[in-house]
Amino acid sequence: MNNFTVLYYMDPIKRQEKSFIPTKYGEFDMYAYAAHAQEKMPHLALSSRSLDITDSVYLRIHSECITGDLFSSQRCDCGEQLDESLRIVQQKNGLLIYLRQEGRGIGIINKMKAYNHQDEGLDTIDANTKLGFKSDERQYDHAITIIKDLGISSIRLITNNPEKINSFVNSGIEVIERIPLIIEANSVNRSYLDTKKNLMGHLMQE
């Protein structure tokens, strides 16, 4: 079931294009990374125009979440994390990498199926495993490729997820510091955030 996902994310990527993107957070350079120039869903990197690769770079690796990032879903904290990350990255002259691995790597259709299972009483982990997936199918090899392509060797990682920190072991990229990204729970996603903290080991405290 998951072979396509694994093969897609392990396919070699390279920089395909760069452009200037003014946003409500400030001005960024946006890079597109994919195996070929015809790829319609490349990974993206938004870099502060004042990025200094000689210093430890503030870095957020954000996995795509259409429901949270685009439609402001209250079922997760992804959209709010993206907003806060862009503010930090702009303020600290850092970098945000946007990986196209929707739904922790299972895709939007399967994520919707998982939501339906959650509405029946399963938590986010059990909903994924019921569909035949691991609790988290994401990989970070492509983020490391992007970081190295931009000449960065030292980072301050904006994350609550210990798996992101672990992904840099033996990568040649030094994690100087972890920057917490704490979003206040709402009445809808409190159980989801508790599961991330208590069962998935996310570091949900300052």
**Catalytic positions, written as ranges:** 136, 138
Q: Which of 183, 190, 202, 196 is nearest to 88 (CA)?
A: 183
Q: Which of 167, 90, 175, 91 is nearest to 136 (CA)?
A: 167
**Residue 110 burial (CB < 10 Å; 0-12/13-18/19+)?**
buried
Q: How far apart are CA 177 and CA 119, in angstroms?
A: 37
Structure tokens at 47: 């870099």
Q: How far apart are CA 41 and CA 43, in angstroms?
A: 7
